[in-house]
């Protein structure tokens, strides 16, 4: 497979059972093979996207000192600002050539989870930054909910299987800035090859070259979405839960050619996480003689903590 399949969520949301089932089959087959789809018909309006990018660029244009005021020690980078080069891919010594911000869950009616999750950080210099971030978070979370409903049907589960696990889940919206490159990087990329931790990732800003996906033959292919599409991929949590039936595909963001080193790149992924107590134990109906159980039992919270250590963001 040398191209990322494109699907339309409006088919799943339609009142036509045939359209709905076609979407389920399309996205399910794509996730069994390449692990990525480009999705049209999501809940993000163009005006909201434009406002978000405008606010994000304003934030990253602040001085280093201003931005570092929002870098919170002791929380593994789960909220607020993470400075340039601090995160590295699993197994890599070199830090990725990026800085980023984290918006986290806005908990509804659950004091226990409010205590468990770090508090969202308010940027004082930008009046609209936090409001636009929250609106975007909600629309991507809503989009992700319907994608997971389609996947539940594909996996012969109840359509609403994931709903209670993702409501108030530990999801993250991450605006990323890849600054201009000033000198030839030494073994560092904008984002080194990695798999995502979570259930699924919804990516804004994959319209230009940079994001690459490794297909089943080990070949790197460009993953480029149309302006009205989100790129959505399976994360390691969902891959574990389905015994690797749905593939968490290795991907990377490569450095631009030297003639484009002077330009910034922005992308905004939404990492859909469940609540921490969700068991990621392999689903019984994903185990067979041909595909025996591949993963040990673990909760989402324990798995997340394990992976945060591997990224170099926490020493606990």
pLDDT (0 to 100) of residue 216: 82
d(CA 203, CA 271): 9
Class of 6-310 per CATH? mainly beta
How many Cβ atoms sit within 10 Å of the Cβ of residue 66?
14
User: Higher model confidence: residue 256 or residue 22?
Assistant: 22
Task: Give the lowest-confidence range in 62-66, 136-140, 260-264, 274-278.
Answer: 260-264
Question: Which ranges of the chain does DSSP label H, i.e. alpha helix?
Answer: 9-13, 17-33, 46-60, 64-68, 111-116, 129-154, 163-166, 236-241, 300-310
Angle subtended at Cα 244 by Cα 173 and Cα 4, rounded to the nearest 5 degrees:
60
pTM: 0.92
Residue 1 has pLDDT above 60, yes or no: no
pLDDT for the residue numbered 84: 86
- Give bridge partners of residue 203 from the DSSP assignment: 231, 269
Q: Are 232 and 200 in contact (CB under 8 A)?
A: yes
Residue 314: the pLDDT is 59
Taking the C-alpha atoms of residue 271 and residue 27, their distance in angstroms, rounded to an integer, is: 18
Torsion angles phi and psi, residue 165, rounded to 5: -80, -30
Among the ranges given (93-102, 226-235, 279-288), the one the predictor scored with the smallest mean pLDDT: 93-102
List, for residues 298-315, the tens digit of each pLDDT value.
999 999 988 888 776 655
Backbone phi, psi, residue 178, to 5°: -100, 100
- Decide: 213 and 253 in contact? Cβ < 8 Å: no
pLDDT tens sequence across 167-206: 999 999 999 998 888 777 776 667 778 889 999 999 987 5
Structure tokens at 5: 């399949």
Task: Give pLDDT, residue 211.
Answer: 87
């Amino acid at each position: 497979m040398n191209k990322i399949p494109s699907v339309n969520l409006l088919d799943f949301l339609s009142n036509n059972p045939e359209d709905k089932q076609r979407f389920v089959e399309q996205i399910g087959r794509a996730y069994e093979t390449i692990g990525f789809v480009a999705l049209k018909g999501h809940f993000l309006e163009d005006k909201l996207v434009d406002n978000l990018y405008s606010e994000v660029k304003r934030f990253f244009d602040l001085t280093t000192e201003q931005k570092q005021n929002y870098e919170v020690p002791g929380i593994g980078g789960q909220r607020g600002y993470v400075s340039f080069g601090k995160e590295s891919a699993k197994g890599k010594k070199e830090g990725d050539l990026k800085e980023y911000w984290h918006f986290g869950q806005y908990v509804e009616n659950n004091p226990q989870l409010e205590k468990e999750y770090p508090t969202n950080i308010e940027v004082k210099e930008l009046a609209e930054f936090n409001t636009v971030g929250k609106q975007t978070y909600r629309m991507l979370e809503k989009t992700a909910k319907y994608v997971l409903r389609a996947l539940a049907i594909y996996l012969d589960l109840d359509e609403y299987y994931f709903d209670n696990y993702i409501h108030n889940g530990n999801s993250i919206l991450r605006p990323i800035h890849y600054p201009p490159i000033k000198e030839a990087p030494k073994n560092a990329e904008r984002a080194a090859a990695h798999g995502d931790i979570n259930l699924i990732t919804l990516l804004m800003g994959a319209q230009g070259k940079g994001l690459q996906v490794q297909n089943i033959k080990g070949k790197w292919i460009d993953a480029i979405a149309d302006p009205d599409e989100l790129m959505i991929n399976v994360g390691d949590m969902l891959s574990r839960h389905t015994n690797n039936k749905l593939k968490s595909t290795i991907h990377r963001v490569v450095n631009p050619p030297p003639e484009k080193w002077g330009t910034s790149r922005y992308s905004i992924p939404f990492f859909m996480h469940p609540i921490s107590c969700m068991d990621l134990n392999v689903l019984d109906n994903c185990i067979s003689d041909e595909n025996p159980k591949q993963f040990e039992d673990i909760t989402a919270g324990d798995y997340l903590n394990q992976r945060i250590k591997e990224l170099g963001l926490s020493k606990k």
